[in-house]
Amino acid sequence: MPHQCPTPIRLLILISGRGSNMQAIVQAVRSEGLSAEICAVISNRADAQGLAWAHDQGIATLSLSHRDYESREAFDRALIERIDVLAPDYILLAGFMRVLSPVFVAHFDGRIVNIHPSLLPAFPGLHTHEQALAVGVQWHGCTVHFVTPVLDHGPIIAQGAIPVLAQDTPGALAKRLLPIEHHVYTEVVRWLSERRVSLDTQGRVQVQGVDRRAFT
């Protein structure tokens, strides 16, 4: 039985580009009646495709270019200011191509969630599909995790896995993984909206009432 939650959680989504994960989340919130509200979509690139989509959906959008700030921290502080007025419960990184400073991570401690296109802790950083093919793993996937100051690291909330096929290219892997990413991220948003997600005493994620296993 899903938990009934009287107060919808407030979600703020950060993107840099296409925004297909963001779209999947928005659509899940709307079509599945999740107890969640998207308070804004913010991009560090004004030309992000996802920003125009969100705007067309009637969602508050903002573009804040990192180029207008002299340092990573100055940009992050400006972002913190914009986000704080919106008072989100969670900040969802969905293809946000910026490394967040410790200041930002500490400010929203335990409330930042990211999706990374690999089975962490394997293949942090960029070009994850190339990295997977280069070492010949037989399973690849994606990870939704809480963000810590260490890049692509932090308590794992959910993973999705796909087999690597003999003929796979980085592009083919990315394409096959994308719908799994959407599925995993929207399930995590559902769990967050039902307030089932917590950390145990060892800092691992527990999802109340859910027997977690990788999505395939």
Instruction: Return the range that interacts with ligand GRF (CB under 6 A); candidates 61-69, 70-78, 98-106, 114-122.
Output: 114-122
Half-sphere exposure of 121 (CA within 13 A, CB side): 4
DSSP 156-194: EEEEEEEEPPTT--HHHHHHHHHHHHHHHHHHHHHHHHT
Closest to ligand GRF by CB, 98 or 195: 98
Does residue 61 belong to the site contacting ligand GRF (CB under 6 A)?
no
> How many Å separate Cα 99 from the centre of its chain?
13
Which residues 6+ apart lie within 8 Å of 183 measured at CB? 24, 160, 215
Neighbours of 172 (CB within 10 A): 14
Among 11, 40, 79, 115, binds ligand GRF (CB under 6 A): 115
* Residue 201 Cβ vs ligand GRF, minimum distance, rounded to whole Å: 30
Token pair 């990413």 in the structure block, residue: 181
13 binds ligand GRF (CB under 6 A): no
Binding of ligand GRF by 28 (CB under 6 A): no
The reply to whether omega before 121 is within 30° of 0 (cis) is yes
The one segment of 13-21, 25-33, 74-82, 197-205 that binds ligand GRF by CB under 6 A: 13-21
Q: Which of 17, 141, 154, 160 forms a contact with ligand GRF (CB under 6 A)?
A: 17
Cβ-count burial 9-18 (b if 16+ within 10 Å, e if not): bbbbbbbbbe
141 binds ligand GRF per the rule CB under 6 A: no
Active site residues: 116
In the bound complex, what is the minimum distance in angstroms from residue 142's beta carbon to ligand GRF? Answer: 6
Does 186 participate in binding ligand GRF (rule CB under 6 A)?
A: no
Distance CA 174, CA 179 (A): 10
Q: Cβ of residue 20: shortest distance to ligand GRF, in angstroms?
A: 3
Residues that bind ligand GRF (CB under 6 A): 15, 17-21, 94-95, 115-117, 142, 181
